[in-house]
Amino acid sequence: MLWTSTSTRVSGLSRRQVHVFGWQNFFNTTMTTVSQQAYVKAVLHACKFPYYAVNGVLIGYEAENVEIVDAIPLFHGHLSLIPLLEAALMQIDSSLDIKNKNSNQQLQIVGYYFANEHEEDLTISSLHTSIVNKIAKNFSKATLWMVT
């Protein structure tokens, strides 16, 4: 897969930045819109646990653009607990199914965010890429955020 990166910064919120990696489809010009709530929740999750690795999922829907409306923090500390991650993702999916019954917007998991344990560590581990690749199987325009 070809992932492209952009970087943004929230002024006044620590020194954290979010690097966004998205699937680059040259035949698709869809834009992604991120709500302030989703962006701030991901950054604050990393700020709350500055000496731990953190991760979470991004919730949204596809209209004309991909709309990311929320971020759900998952873990801080040990991120490689696959059984717990699978259980958390199943709970999120079932919760979204219930919300979707009463809504026009079909919310789903549209991305994944993480922050490494050390702020200077800019590596994307195989764990993170495998998680976002699984999300991309269900949502082809999945996004990966690295909070630094």
Contacts with 66 (C-beta within 8 Å, 6 or more apart), sequence order: 30, 31, 32, 33, 60, 110, 141, 143
Q: What pLDDT is stored for residue 16 in this prediction?
A: 57
Entry pTM: 0.82
Q: Tokens for 34?
A: 């991120």
Q: For residue 83, give the amino acid letter.
A: P
Instruction: Reply yes or no on whether the pLDDT at 5 is more than 50.
Output: no
Contacts with 57 (C-beta within 8 Å, 6 or more apart), sequence order: 71, 72, 74, 89, 92, 109, 111, 112, 113, 135
Long-range contacts of 1-5 (CB under 8 A, 24+ apart): 1/133, 1/136, 3/144
Average of per-residue pLDDT across 68-94: 88
Q: What angle do CA 123, 116, 24 make, to 5 degrees?
A: 50
Average of per-residue pLDDT across 52-65: 91
pLDDT one-digit tens code per residue, 61-75 = 988 888 999 999 999
